[in-house]
Structure 1
Amino acid sequence: MSCLPLDEAWLKRHPLPAIKQGADKNSRGRVLVVGGSEFVPGALRLTGEAALRAGAGKLQMATVQSSALSLGVLVPEAAMIALPADGDGEIASNAATLLTDRIAACDTLILGPGMSTTAGTKAFLIDLLDRLCFSGSLILDAAALVVLREYSPSGGGLGDRAILTPHHGEMAALSGLSLEEIRAEPAAVAIEMAARWNAVILLKGEISYLASPDGQCLVHSGGCVGLGTAGSGDVLAGLIGGLTARGSAASLAAAWGAWIHGQAGKAAAAAIGELGFLARELIPVIPALIEGTLNSLPRSKTVQRP
């Protein structure tokens, strides 16, 4: 299976849309992150902060009530939505009704970071997916990916601006294939799943494969071993979500997100060490990496949201 390399030459041909000078926070998009649990209360901090560092203008985070206040203090830039929890400390299965209006008002929804795949979270996620009725971008990560295999859309489905970000284990759960089958033909698997779900697929790994529903495929090998650490995927989901919120198409945001995430890992490795840097240490360098990469490329068309 032939894939084009995701490198500086590709980025030069596909720059991010520029933000108009003087644009306010509304024009840079609104991100809603839904996830977390009592067991993993901090995942949304990583995702939310990465979305803001990528340039999103507004951030809301929805998580279990016991974690919402402390998370809001940790991320004072975000508005918090407290959701009921079930006996497992996960978002309760009946919580989807509380998010309908919030989702309708956002530009990007990131769903799944910090959640486990219990019976209750499956019911919550499937109910929420069935209620989706908005024209924004949808990023599915972690538990939300595992649930998809059991999801049969009753309405409009995922839409054409969905991005799925599985690692190999999540791809196995999503596709029904074994890890060995995925490792043997990762590009083919990513392309097949992109077509099946009419979504952009970023199959994460030491070498990552980015597939679009039309069959196009990119391969990215620009990361580092230290990125295989807890919370790294939460940062990547937020980074991609922030790029979609500020106006990037799904495939473009996923490509730039993968590239910047890899470059952030290299920067952390150089400053701290190849192993042992923390996922949260990737976040502060995101703005400079985006700006530096954009400044080395031709100027693109300015985008401003209504």
Structure 2
Amino acid sequence: MKIVSIDEMRELERRTNEIYEDESIMMEHAAFSLYLAIEEEIGTFEGKHALIFAGKGNNGGDAMALARNLHESGMDVKVCLVFGDVSSPLAIKNLSIIKKMGIPVVDSIDKNEIRSADIVIDGIFGIGLKSKIDEKISQIIDMINANSKFTVSVDIPSGVDAQTGNVNGKAIIASMTVTFGMIKRGMLFYPARSLCGKIKVGKIGIPPEIIEEVNPKGEVTTFLDAKSLLPLRPPFSNKGTFGKVLVISGSKNYTGTPTMVALGALRSGAGLVRIASTSIALSLPEAISIPLEMEDSEISLKNLPLIDDLVDISDVIAIGPGIGTGKNATGIVHHILTKWKNKPIVIDADGINVLSKFDYELLPNMIITPHPGEFARLTSKSIDEILADPLTHAIRFSNEKHALTLLKGPTTVIANPDGRYAINITGNSALAKGGSGDVLTGMIAGFAAQGMNLFDAAKLSAYIHGRTSELYAQDKGEYSMIAREIGDLVPQIIKELIQ
């Protein structure tokens, strides 16, 4: 499922309008898409009442074009011009038409009218909103949110920044959003995700050739995407067929992390997993444990010759969880990233934290998997800055450092150095537990060991990882899930994908 930035959407619209040579054609498509989406939700229009709040631009024009369709179908329709007038040529045209049709047009509506309406249409602002909403419009939004039975937003809930998902003061809480052409990327980030309600994509006449030419860089990982990414399991095979993962993890204070990483790698299908750590993975005998010497509570640099031997016979390296941030851990991370550039490397947790300690070079066969706090330390940004626009920061980092970034959060972002990015929306708060990210690290390494490129391995892992929490919550809620249960549920999600 492709998603678009504001600039990409504008380009799609521009090129399409060049073909049609008449901007009103796209507006007619938009209005009819709205009509069909609403009909699907509420059924017959006859005898029902709609209130339409129209802004002064093309978003208001779309809403007024919808008013004509609803009126024609026997619905009682009233239009409120929230700014008292309209300004775009198409909005002016549609306003003139609905007045000639006898549709009432007013400049104010009270809360009792909103309460009595079967449906309220939010056509106040579109995707171009940047400035903070003023007091008058804020009051209208509050009144709609407090009194509407069913609110439909045109393209995006008014007040939402389509690029980031942030809110410019106040925003409509929609029951349903009918967005045009493609989902706008900001709609998939909070708080927008909690404001859009059910999202439907309405066609507005953009030819497939135009989409191919513009080539939007973003996508949402869907069930069918994950299904198509799942690596095959040929019957004529052995453990070597499915790859060998080396986990470099753990320290005196973090004895459980190596097990969680190894669990993720094994459950995702890796043929063989070795753990190089100061702690022995007694709780996971299926993994091969190689004990390492400890110095100052961390893996000693004396172990580097042994680690090199292990890396040499491995297909993928997962490094970082629980290794610490002292001189030994820093030396080991630096050694791996400089000597073993030819190996796919998954870098997480403390492995990310120690990157800020030296002048490092990342490559396209490397992926970092930070949470916002780790990413903030790595980029010298504040956590608030990262949370305000995680996608932009992840894309920029991957472009500058030439490596992949999986930035964890309620909406997880996977950014590729070539500008492509994927958004994962599976998951819930059950994943907000220590060790959850360690399992994800192992899963990425496990799928990569089976021959997947890191971008696809990260997309598939994030989808399955999130989906385990959804499955868990169906029976047990979101409070009690622990990291090893993520790994234990992975087989059920893989089975779900296969079937």
Q: Is 1:84–2:287 an aligned residue pair?
A: no
Cα offset for 1:11?
3.2
1:38 pairs with one of 248, 252, 264? 252
After superposition, the C-alpha distances for 1:196-237 in whole angstroms (9 at most, x for unaligned) are 222221100111111101111122221101100010000111
Give the distance between the partners of 1:197 and 1:282, measured in 2 at CA: 31
Corresponding position of 1:151 = 358
Give the distance between the partners of 1:77 and 1:281, measured in 2 at CA: 17
Q: Is 1:50–2:264 an aligned residue pair?
A: yes
Give the distance between the partners of 1:127 and 1:107, measured in 2 at CA: 17
After superposition, the C-alpha distances for 1:138-189 in whole angstroms (9 at most, x for unaligned) are 1000011112233335xxx444321110100010111111111111211111
Q: Is the 1:37–1:115 contact (alpha carbons within 8 Å) kept by the matching residues of 2?
A: yes
Give the distance between the partners of 2:224 and 2:244, measured in 1 at CA: 30
Give the distance between the partners of 1:129 and 1:83, measured in 2 at CA: 19
Cα offset for 1:271?
3.1
Query: 5+ residue gaps in structure 2?
Result: 6-184, 186-217
Q: Is the 2:404–2:417 contact (alpha carbons within 8 Å) kept by the matching residues of 1?
A: yes
Cα offset for 1:9?
4.4
Query: 5+ residue gaps in structure 1?
Result: 296-306
Summarize the alignment of residues 24-35 of structure 1 with structure 2, pairs less than 5 Å apart: 24-35=238-249
Cα offset for 1:8?
2.1
Give the distance between the partners of 2:476 and 2:237, measured in 1 at CA: 35
Which SS does the other structure have where 2:295 is aligned? coil
1:173 pairs with one of 367, 377, 402? 377
Which SS does the other structure have where 1:149 is aligned? helix
Corresponding position of 2:106 = none
Which SS does the other structure have where 1:19 is aligned? coil
2:325 pairs with one of 117, 137, 162? 117
Q: Which amino acid aligns with 1:109?
A: I
Give the distance between the partners of 2:383 and 2:442, measured in 1 at CA: 26
Corresponding position of 2:306 = 98
Which SS does the other structure have where 1:247 is aligned? coil
Q: Is the 1:15–1:294 contact (alpha carbons within 8 Å) kept by the matching residues of 2?
A: no
Which SS does the other structure have where 2:294 is aligned? coil
Task: Give the structure-2-normalised TM-score.
Answer: 0.55
Q: Percent identity?
A: 32
Q: Which amino acid aligns with 2:225?
A: W
Give the CA RMSD over aligned residues: 1.7
2:226 pairs with one of 11, 29, 40? 11
Corresponding position of 1:271 = 475
Q: Which amino acid aligns with 2:383?
A: L
Cα offset for 1:261?
0.2
Q: Which amino acid aligns with 1:76?
A: P
Corresponding position of 1:184 = 388
Q: Is the 1:63–1:83 contact (alpha carbons within 8 Å) kept by the matching residues of 2?
A: yes
Corresponding position of 1:75 = 284
Give the distance between the partners of 2:447 and 2:459, measured in 1 at CA: 10
Cα offset for 1:79?
1.6
In our comparison, the structure showing a higher alpha carbon Rg is: 2
Q: Which amino acid aligns with 2:248?
A: V
Q: Is the 1:110–1:238 contact (alpha carbons within 8 Å) kept by the matching residues of 2?
A: yes
Q: Is the 1:35–1:115 contact (alpha carbons within 8 Å) kept by the matching residues of 2?
A: yes
Give the distance between the partners of 2:475 and 2:258, measured in 1 at CA: 25
Corresponding position of 1:302 = none
Give the distance between the partners of 1:113 and 1:260, measured in 2 at CA: 20
Higher RCO by CA contacts (8 Å cutoff, separation 6 or greater): 1
Corresponding position of 1:303 = none
Cα offset for 1:4?
2.1
Which SS does the other structure have where 1:252 is aligned? helix
Cα offset for 1:92?
1.7
Q: How many residue pairs end up in the alignment?
A: 284
Q: Is 1:206–2:413 an aligned residue pair?
A: no
Q: Which amino acid aligns with 1:116?
A: G
Cα offset for 1:120?
2.8
Cα offset for 1:247?
1.4
Which SS does the other structure have where 2:455 is aligned? helix
